[in-house]
Amino acid sequence: MISFSAVSKRYPGGLEALRGVSFTIEAGELVFVTGPSGAGKSTLLKLIPAIERPTAGSVVVNGQNVGALKRGAIPYLRRNLGLVFQDHKLLYDRSVFDNVMLPLSFGTLAPRDAARRTRAALDKVGLLERERANPIQLSGGEQQRLAIARAVVNRPAVLVADEPTANLDEDSAWRIVDILLSFHQVGVTLVVATHDQALVARHGRRVLQLAAGRLAGA
């Protein structure tokens, strides 16, 4: 499902975030990517939806070589992935409902079906009653749940979450983890970057440990 083969990523300016990283993630797996700050976790996750392109090596997602994808094909790749960003990337000029609905407006779903699916996603993360609220009115944990609802509204086969529990209190963090695991339990491939060792220790079935851009353990 996701395959990294000798992947390196060097940013303009010379910073080498990843060096010869290789691994494969099978469909339905739950994988934690861990490591200290600057180890390359976020870069690794950004390579999956082609937010970044590898400098060397190949990244294959759902059979597509992401590094070789043409610009016009990238949106279609991303629509089949659920992305949860470290900084949520919510839009504060529209409602909770509209934030979740956003990815569905790019596709072919009829507005009525899109609305139904949006409410289902909000229900899944426990925010249905807040659908008319502005995201700014939500707590940090609720905002993260909103970001998860938006990531799963397209019913992706792969969910990629970058530090989903960062800056959250323990209760909120566990709730986020439970929600993510609930999606994994119905077959969604889950890739989670985190430096929360307690989280990894409790749920970590497979851990990709990065150190200075290299895979230290898999």
Partner 1 sequence: MRTWLRQHREALARALGRLGAQRMATLLNALVIGVALSLPAGGYLLLSGLQGVAQRVSYEPQVSVFLKAGAAQADLEARMRRDPRVAGLRFVSRDEALAELRVTEELADVVAQLERNPLPDAFVVRSADAAPAALEALAEALRALPGVARVQVDSAWAQRLAALVRTGRLALGALAVLLATGLVAVTFNTIRLQILTQREEIEVSRLLGASDGFVRRPLLYLGFLQGLAGGALGLAILAGALAVLNVGVRELAQTYGSSFSLPFLPWDDALSVVGFSGFLGWLGSAMSVSRHLR
| Site of interaction with partner 1 (CB under 8 A) | 49, 51, 71-72, 75-79, 83, 85, 89-91, 93, 102-103, 105-108, 110-111, 150, 154
* Strands of the sheet with 214-217, listed across from one edge: 81-84, 158-162, 189-193, 30-34, 206-211, 214-217
Distance of CA 53 to the CA centre of its chain: 17
Alpha-carbon gap, residue 31 to 122, rounded angstroms: 25
Question: Count of CB atoms within 10 A of residue 105's CB?
Answer: 10
In this structure, what are the phi and psi dihedrals at residue 45, rounded to the nearest 5 degrees?
A: -65, -35
The minimum distance between CB 91 and partner 1, in angstroms, equals: 6
CB of 169 to partner 1, least distance (A): 26
